[in-house]
A and B are shown apart, each in its own frame.
Chain A
């Protein structure tokens, strides 16, 4: 099953390699990993998406918790949370019908064109991973030049928060 795990990590050199190293050393699956600093400069916030049996996911969370750099951790999967991923996608937009089609699709998916050239569009799209997949699938395969995805990030709904 797919799990989304959110972590607060000491903002120190080597913390990221400890976490990614744990996944490779123990053969755990890692679908995506995002990391950036938070409002507290000593902390980084990380979101990891992993797929595994309950037993594996339990081990992953326990092993992550064991790392000295991990301050707090929560598996969001069971609870109520918001998940988003962002994507840039560069597509061919050479002919008028091609441009019109991309515009039409962007309207449906609420994507935004953020850059244009004579032959290309660059589109920005935010949503669940499924939505991003659907958008890519809706395009002609040959029209896609480049895809950049951020990986998922998540936050709990309501008053609950993953803070210190």
Chain B
């Protein structure tokens, strides 16, 4: 089969099983867009901004586990994509981004729409390629998909000069089924002796703690994790990125940990004597101050990326390997345990955890006649039966979503955890909806975040991907305001969002449905109505309590046992301290 470079790209995407391509055309990719025309194996979704393309592909990847694919032009096309690429990089999401480049002969001449895309993206990709030879195009694309999806996944950029895609130059093409890279061989197995040692340490624990993260979802190890946790009967906490891998409504799950995690999970982290970290990377929002992190614990760490191990927290038993394979091996060992679990110690441990839990650290006051953002998320949970795909933007609403929408399945909770990219939610929701057209997809957002990629409302209309936008509108950049309240004596510097569009009219202008909710009494019906409109994108503009804060909170430089809890709960905490419950 003789094909041009452009035809090779499209044929390759078909052969690779890519169904959706999120992109935006331009000069350097005109040949490729010509090859996209008149074929329907790969559906191209024309976004309204390249950032939207990357986030949509990212949301698609997070929801499906398949790589998300984007096509953008050179120069501004590539630079607009950078935020989305960095978002995927920080959360280890497999993304393949094809960027057009000026023709080879013009590279380096400051040509129109030229930017060194390989250079610009170098710091936020797993790897990137500049295609210099048409004969290596297919092989390079294969490498890109392989690198993006294997080991610790991540975004890969392939920069393709325009002359490589010229329609009149044709070469033989065959789909490269395999790829060989001598410098890249991710280790997946996990060392059997380390696994054995880890299981023995776990069984000997008096106050064990399981801490799992996004890596479990990445490696499709949810079932293995569930077996593992149930076999042991130990408490489990999950990171923001790991929510859903273990069911959020299971009594063994004691809530998210970290800066805005539950009191009980953070206290349990602090007091545990054996900690097993599974596909989690000890992010600073998780650990608090590292010098006071888990002071009594021996640490087991499973991660496919050796560089994650002992990066911030020293691992006593490191296990480099794919979480799924390692958990399978551990589950096997747990079927015939060498040691009995110390049931009495475990009972005591659970008693302590339940006593922390009885504080209800997520509790909030729901009286003021205003809509509390927490209540809005709880209502969303009720109306969707906990079964929706939820994307979020970044800020208070993101934390409220994580706290009040328990996820029982992996890949349902889609948010920018690492980079914290405002503007992520809506395009990501769109990407999810392309993958699962029959599922409810909601984007929990705020009036700040939503305006950062609001142009994608048009794309939702064009491709008929109805999503529900749950806008928790507090007329503030809420999380920044909260920090200014706590740490800058309420000097609310440039966080006021009072000037804002009429979101209802805006939604209507985009061809969608807008509903404003101001009274707590209307919340349930509005939410019901939004989801009843199955084939409509609905923008729910929910006017919430302006000064609601996210609690509990570990401030910067504090340890897990130094959480701030809501004023409502402070009395209880004082009582706790007096009794000296915390070690």
Seen from chain A, the residues whose Cβ lies within 8 Å of a Cβ on chain B are 10, 13-14, 17-18, 21, 25, 55, 58-59, 62-63, 65-71, 164
Please name the residue on chain A nearest to B307 by beta carbon: A62
Given A55-B310, A65-B306, verify A21-B122 contact (CB < 8 Å). yes
> What is the CA–CA distance of A55 and B118 in the complex, to the nearest angstrom?
30
Q: Does B311 make an interface contact (CB < 8 A)?
A: yes
Find out whether the CB atom of A21 lies under 8 angstroms from the CB atom of B127: no
Q: Which residues of A contact B147 (CB under 8 A)?
A: 68
Q: If A10-B183, A59-B311 touch, does A66 touch B119 (CB 8 Å cutoff)?
A: no
Closest Cβ of chain B to A124, distance in Å, is 35
Chain B residue nearest to A42 (CB atoms) is: B182
Q: Quick check: B122 and A14 within 8 Å, CB to CB?
A: yes
Given A59-B311, A65-B306, A68-B127: A18 and B122 interface contact (C-beta under 8 Å): yes
Is residue B305 contacting chain A, with contact meaning CB distance below 8 A? yes
Q: How far is the CA of A10 from the CA of B184 in the complex (A)?
A: 11
Q: A59 contacts B183, CB within 8 Å?
A: no
What are the residues of chain B within 8 A of A17 when measuring CB–CB?
119, 122
With A68-B183, A69-B183 known as contacts, the answer to whether A59 contacts B307 (CB < 8 A) is yes
With A25-B123, A68-B127, A68-B147 known, 17 other A-B pairs at CB within 8 A are: A13-B130, A14-B119, A14-B122, A14-B128, A17-B119, A17-B122, A18-B122, A21-B122, A21-B123, A55-B310, A59-B311, A62-B306, A66-B306, A66-B307, A68-B126, A70-B183, A71-B182
CB of B1 within 8 A of chain A? no
CA distance A24 to B324 in the complex (A): 34
| B138 CB, nearest partner CB in chain A, Å | 18
Q: How far is the CA of A58 from the CA of B311 in the complex (A)?
A: 9
Chain A neighbourhood of B578, CB < 8 A: none
B residues within 8 Å of A by Cβ? 118-119, 122-123, 126-128, 130, 147, 181-184, 305-307, 310-311
Residues of chain B lying within 8 A (CB to CB) of residue A67: 127
Q: List the A side residues contacting B306 at CB < 8 Å.
A: 62, 65-66
Complex-state Cα separation, A65 to B309, whole angstroms: 14
In the bound assembly, the distance between CA atoms of A55 and B307 in angstroms comes to 11
Q: Which residues of B contact A25 (CB under 8 A)?
A: 123
| Smallest Cβ-Cβ distance to A64: which chain B residue | B307
In contact, B118 and A14 (Cβ under 8 angstroms): yes
Leading 5 A-B pairs by shortest Cβ distance: A62-B307, A71-B183, A68-B127, A68-B184, A62-B306
Jot down 7 A-B pairs with beta carbons below 8 A, ordered by A. A17-B122, A58-B310, A63-B307, A66-B307, A68-B183, A68-B184, A70-B183
Distance (whole angstroms) from the CB of A74 to the closest CB of chain B: 14
In Å, the complex CA distance between A58 and B118 comes to: 27
Interchain CB contact (< 8 A) of B305 among A66, A68, A71: A66
Which residues of A sit under 8 angstroms from B311, Cβ to Cβ? 59
Q: Which residues of A contact B183 (CB under 8 A)?
A: 10, 68-71
Residues of chain A within 8 A of B119, CB atoms compared = 14, 17
Complex Cα–Cα for A2 and B147 (A): 33
What A residues does B307 contact at CB under 8 A? Answer: 59, 62-63, 65-66
Verify A68–B181 contact, CB threshold 8 A.
yes
Residues of B within 8 A of A66 (CB): 305-307
User: Is B182 a contact of A164 with CB atoms below 8 Å?
Assistant: yes
- Nearest CB on A from B240, distance (A): 23
* Chain B residues within an 8 Å CB radius of A14: 118-119, 122, 128, 130
Residues of B within 8 A of A58 (CB): 310
Whole-angstrom distance between the Cβ of B107 and the nearest chain A Cβ: 11
Minimum C-beta distance from B416 to chain A (A): 20
User: CA–CA, A132 to B319, complex, Å?
Assistant: 44
Question: For the complex, what is the distance from the CA of A25 to the CA of B147, rounded to whole Å?
Answer: 21
Q: Taking the nearest CB of chain B, how far is it from the CB of A44, in angstroms?
A: 12
**CA–CA, A23 to B118, complex, Å?**
18
